[in-house]
Amino acid sequence: MGILEGKRILVTGVLTDASIAFSVAKLAQEEGATVVLTGFGRLSLVERIAKRLPEPAPVLELDVQNTDHLDTLADRVGEHLDGLDGVVHSIGFAPQTALGGNFLNTPWDDVATALQVSTYSFKSLAVACLPLMKEGGAVVGLDFDASKAWPVYDWMGVAKAGLESCSRYLARDLGKHNIRVNLVAAGPLRTMAAKSIPGFQEFEDSWPEKAPLGWDLADTLPTAKACVALMSDWFPATTGEIVHVDGGVHAIGS
Ligand SMILES: NC(=O)c1ccc[n+]([C@@H]2O[C@H](COP(=O)([O-])OP(=O)(O)OC[C@H]3O[C@@H](n4cnc5c(N)ncnc54)[C@H](O)[C@@H]3O)[C@@H](O)[C@H]2O)c1
């Protein structure tokens, strides 16, 4: 029996089959879950990718900057599932001016977009799903270690620091519903989001060397495994936590 047997999971953030969210959705299904996806923008592309899952999954439209989409999300998910045991937030975006070494010159409007899509949306998504969430449920988000300043990551790094804090406050406020909130801090992975970061190559070059366990930039499975484990019943007393899936880089001085 899989560790998500009988669980109903909403997975956001599938764009391509390299997306971390695709790997999470696939593994969740393999572990027994029923999965519904949300997609942003290129919905026909997301629907095509969804057909590559072991079980084709319905795709609902969700732009986290669109309050209508958020307000109607629970009803739309409710057409497919009679409740939710898990929600995966795998969403991030920052305009080009907010990345790549332009930190001192990024205009506020672009910073605001990065924060709304990558940080505030963790709270928006959790609250939008709350009417369907069952006791013992879990919300999981995707983080990039924000405890230090990285080359080129710039305002996305600030957004991730906010995400880490947001996760702790959500854990505080959803605890009374017996809902856990945790993050998985992944090492660099070759996805669309990563490719859009000018200078991402710097991470690609150094990470596998620095990581005590080594690091495969094309393998999203270890990250997906952590997300699935956190949504299972095997972390019943863990919330407000950040699990690093980075080959161990966070633990090592340079
Ligand atoms: N790839 C990496 O190196 C890496 C490392 C650590 C954490 N992460 C995080 O993992 C998460 C998923 O990214 P990924 O690397 O799988 O890339 P990806 O490009 O496959 O996924 C990013 C997703 O964000 C979605 N998105 C962007 N704007 C949105 C909006 N307004 N509303 C709803 N969805 C929106 C995109 O449609 C896409 O599906 C992000 O939070 C990212 O920061 C990525």
Residue 203 maps to which CATH number? 3.40.50.720
Cα of 13 to ligand 1 centre, how many Å?
A: 6
DSSP 8-state class, residue 204? H
| pLDDT above 90: residue 132 | yes
Q: In what order do the strands lie in the sheet with 34-39?
A: 59-61, 34-39, 8-11, 84-89, 133-143, 180-186, 241-245
Cα of 112 to ligand 1 centre, how many Å?
A: 17
- Please report, in range form, the residues annotated as the binding site for substrate: 94
Distance CA 240, CA 237 (A): 10
Tell the residue nearest (CA) to atom 9 of ligand 1.
142
**How many domains are there within the chain?**
1
Give me the DSSP letters along 2-44.
-TTTT-EEEE----STTSHHHHHHHHHHHTT-EEEEEE-S-HH
What values do phi and psi take at 148, rounded to 5? -140, 165
Distance CA 50, CA 39 (A): 10
Q: What's the rounded mean pLDDT across residues 128-150?
A: 97
User: From the CB of 140, is ligand 1 less than 6 Å away?
Assistant: no
Specify the ligand 1 atom closest to the Cα of 64.
Answer: 32
In a domain, 72, yes or no: yes
Contact 68, 39 (CB under 8 A): no
Of 160, 169, 176, 195, catalytic: 160
The alpha carbons of the chain give a radius of gyration, in whole angstroms, of 17
pLDDT in tens, 203-246: 999 999 999 999 999 999 999 999 999 999 999 999 999 999 99
Position 232 scores a pLDDT of: 98
- pLDDT over 90, % of the chain: 98
In a domain, 2, yes or no: no
Average pLDDT, the chain: 97
Residue 164 lies in domain: 8-246
160 is catalytic: yes
In a domain, 88, yes or no: yes
| pLDDT above 90: residue 70 | yes
**Burial 239-253, CB ≥16 within 10 A → b, else e:** bbebbbbbbebeeee
The model carries a pTM of: 0.98
For residue 251, which of 185, 152, 153 has the smallest C-alpha distance?
185
176 is catalytic: no
The amino acid at residue 195 is K
Q: What's the rounded mean pLDDT across residues 42-67?
A: 97
Position 239 scores a pLDDT of: 98
User: From the CB of 223, is ligand 1 less than 6 Å away?
Assistant: no
Cα of 145 to ligand 1 centre, how many Å?
A: 15
DSSP 8-state class, residue 148? S
Contact 27, 225 (CB under 8 A): yes
In a domain, 151, yes or no: yes
- Please report, in range form, the residues annotated as the binding site: 13, 19-20, 63-64, 91, 94, 160
| pLDDT above 90: residue 31 | yes
User: From the CB of 222, is ligand 1 less than 6 Å away?
Assistant: no
| pLDDT above 80: residue 254 | no
| pLDDT above 90: residue 42 | no
In a domain, 3, yes or no: no
Q: What's the rounded mean pLDDT across residues 30-44?
A: 96
Q: pLDDT-derived band of residue 100, with 50, 70 and 90 as boundaries? A: very high
Position 117 scores a pLDDT of: 98
Q: What's the rounded mean pLDDT across residues 5-13?
A: 98
In a domain, 235, yes or no: yes
In a domain, 93, yes or no: yes
| CA distance readout (Å), 175 to 121, 129, 168, 172, 236 | 19, 15, 10, 6, 11
Q: If residue 133 lies in a helix (H) or strand (E), which one and from where to where?
A: strand 133-143
